[in-house]
Amino acid sequence: MKNIMTYKGYYAKIEYSDEDECFFGKVEGLNKDLISFEGQTVKELKKDFKNAIDDYLKVCNELNEKPEKQCKGSLNVRLGPLLHSEAKIKSEEKNISINEFIKQAVANYIKIC
């Protein structure tokens, strides 16, 4: 079961509260801003999620601030010496950077390219 919703480049993890009998979510990976939402039904949850993102982008625009992004496009990966060495060798064989090699490997794994 997929518990992730996406809208306008933002993603959120969805949970259910049995005590409150509602679905709720929070946009993950933001450091300074908080975007949360809820709904009694899936339809309400989706609507509140989209409204929360739209409101966030509107407020950022009104304040002339750049909206925070969840993923910046760079990350540190700890491969361990053996895997690092094997990746470097393969990247050399393909005549590409190790960064490009890892990028292609991840894209192939999740099938987005």
Taking residues 21-47, report their average pLDDT: 94
The percentage of the chain sitting over the pLDDT mark of 90, rounded to a whole number, equals: 81
Are the CB atoms for 68 and 28 separated by under 8 Å? Answer: no
The pTM for the full model equals: 0.73
Q: How far apart are CA 107 and CA 22, in angstroms?
A: 35
Domain 4-62: give its CATH architecture: 2-Layer Sandwich (3.30)
Long-range Cβ contact pairs of 67-73 (< 8 A, separation 24 or more):
67/33, 68/30, 68/31, 68/32, 68/33, 69/9, 70/10, 70/11, 70/27, 70/28, 70/29, 70/30, 71/29
Domain extents in the chain: 4-62, 81-110
Q: How far apart are CA 58 and CA 103, in angstroms?
A: 33
Taking residues 47-72, report their average pLDDT: 95
Residue 2 has pLDDT above 80, yes or no: no
